Structure 1
Amino acid sequence: MPKYPPQVTQRFHGTPEQVAAGRVGAPPARWDSIVIEPYDPAWAQRFAAARAGLHEALGDLVVDVAHVGSTSVPGLDAKPIVDIDLLLPATEPESGYLPALEGLGYRLVLREPWWYGHRMLVSAAEDINLHVWPQDAPEPIRHRLFRDWLRAHPDDRDLYASAKRRIARDTVAHPGDYNLAKNDVIDAIYARIFAATD
């Protein structure tokens, strides 16, 4: 594996305050509870349909579209919400792409210029999290490395699944804490990923 620069190997940890400050409008209803389900092959089909719609709506503006997150790893238990990384030349100004995404039924819920210009939208059914990044952002590289590592390393896939189920139980009263509570296990897996590149 290639050796990656610090901007890729040093993972950014947002704070609850930063996430709260980035919220746009009402949070998705699915943020009120964490439900972990067994892997469903239909998640890949949902991604394929969404990818086609994004290409049709945005055309040559699309640099890349990737299925990331737990639903992109066969055999991994996950929240039944498909995460998609959409890479564009830039995320500002939003007027260049947001109206087209809204035309597909997506709704902007996070605006995080401090996190590499990240924007997050949810589909009308709230079953897709669409992450919009500028093409040079390091976070999508990490997403793909994590996805590909879990696909190729079933022990870490199972470790991550077990941790997610435990954390979902532990944060049932405070579901907003779920993502931040996964950082320890995610960072441990990233340490193995990047150790393999040395």
Structure 2
Amino acid sequence: MTLGLKRGTVQLEPHDKQWDEIAVQTIKTLKAILGDDVIDIQHIGSTAIPAIKAKPIIDIAVGVTDFDRIISYNEQLQKEGIFYRGSDVEHQLLYVMGDEESDTRTHHIHIVKWNGIEWKNYIHFRDYLNANENVALCYQKLKEELENKYADDRVAYTNGKQDMIDTILNDQ
């Protein structure tokens, strides 16, 4: 099983059932630390969609009502290898897991307002692709084209997916 990528790179892998198991363990760890300050935690992103390839980085959405409460756990999270990376995406806090020395990321943990637009988009996109394999396979085809074009430019890869993501979210 492959888990983790050097920051900024793109490499798609066939779905691996172990990703789900790792996500479950990560969710348990987050619940144990964050307790009642979390409303819900979900495995999201392409690693949560068995029909398609994904970057081997586990994406987790954590639904909360108060970002400041979550930041107060930074020291405890860091002891578990979960590092705060900031809020460069509007309306989110980002935490990562991985190997800092090799600059490899295994997890992206997105803290968002529970039931806010970001939460709903993450959950809806995952659920829609899981329920519509033909659309999921079209999404995979786009991802493969972008991987070939932008293997060393994750920002361009991510930006290249946005129109299709927006179309899927807006059509529902």
TM-score w.r.t. length of structure 2: 0.87
Structure 2 match to 1:152: 131
Structure 1 match to 2:98: 124
Identity of aligned residues (%): 24
- Name stretches of at least 5 consecutive residues in structure 1 with no aligned partner: 1-27
Contact 2:8 2:152 in 1 (8 A): no
Q: What is the alpha-carbon distance in structure 2 between the residues aligned to residue 95 and residue 172 of structure 1?
A: 33
**Structure 1 residue 190 displacement after superposition:** 2.1
Q: What is the alpha-carbon distance in structure 2 between the residues aligned to residue 136 and residue 154 of structure 1?
A: 25
Kindly report which structure 2 residues correspond to 1:142-181, keeping only aligned pairs within 5 A, or say none: 142-181=121-160
Higher strand share: 2
Deviates more, 1:151-160 or 1:178-187: 178-187
Q: 1:86 aligns with which of 51, 58, 62?
A: 62
**Structure 1 residue 95 displacement after superposition:** 4.0
3-state SS of paired residue (1:178)? helix
Q: What is the alpha-carbon distance in structure 2 between the residues aligned to residue 188 and residue 70 of structure 1?
A: 17
Contact 2:47 2:56 in 1 (8 A): yes
Contact 2:40 2:62 in 1 (8 A): yes
Question: Which amino acid in structure 2 is aligned with residue 134 of structure 1?
Answer: K
Classify 1:175/1:62 alpha carbon distance in 2 versus 1 (closer, same or farther; 3 Å): closer
Q: 1:115 aligns with which of 90, 98, 117?
A: 90
Cα distance per residue 1:45-90 (max 9 Å; x no partner) = 0100001111111111121100110011112110011100012221
Contact 2:19 2:47 in 1 (8 A): yes
Kindly report which structure 2 residues correspond to 1:22-33, keeping only aligned pairs within 5 A, or say none: 30-33=6-9
Contact 2:37 2:69 in 1 (8 A): no
Q: What is the alpha-carbon distance in structure 2 between the residues aligned to residue 188 and residue 80 of structure 1?
A: 25
Cα distance per residue 1:98-135 (max 9 Å; x no partner) = 222212111122323x712x111111342111111133
Q: What is the alpha-carbon distance in structure 1 between the residues aligned to residue 124 and residue 133 of structure 2?
A: 15
TM-score w.r.t. length of structure 1: 0.76
Structure 1 match to 2:163: 184
Contact 1:71 1:79 in 2 (8 A): yes
Question: Which amino acid in structure 2 is aligned with residue 167 of structure 1?
Answer: L
Contact 2:95 2:109 in 1 (8 A): yes
Classify 1:41/1:94 alpha carbon distance in 2 versus 1 (closer, same or farther; 3 Å): closer
Q: What is the alpha-carbon distance in structure 2 between the residues aligned to residue 157 and residue 137 of structure 1?
A: 24
Q: What is the alpha-carbon distance in structure 2 between the residues aligned to residue 138 and residue 74 of structure 1?
A: 24
3-state SS of paired residue (1:80)? coil
Cα distance per residue 1:11-67 (max 9 Å; x no partner) = xxxxxxxxxxxxxxxxx9722310001111111001000011111111111211001
- Name stretches of at least 5 consecutive residues in structure 2 with no aligned partner: 100-104
Could you say which structure has the larger radius of gyration?
A: 1
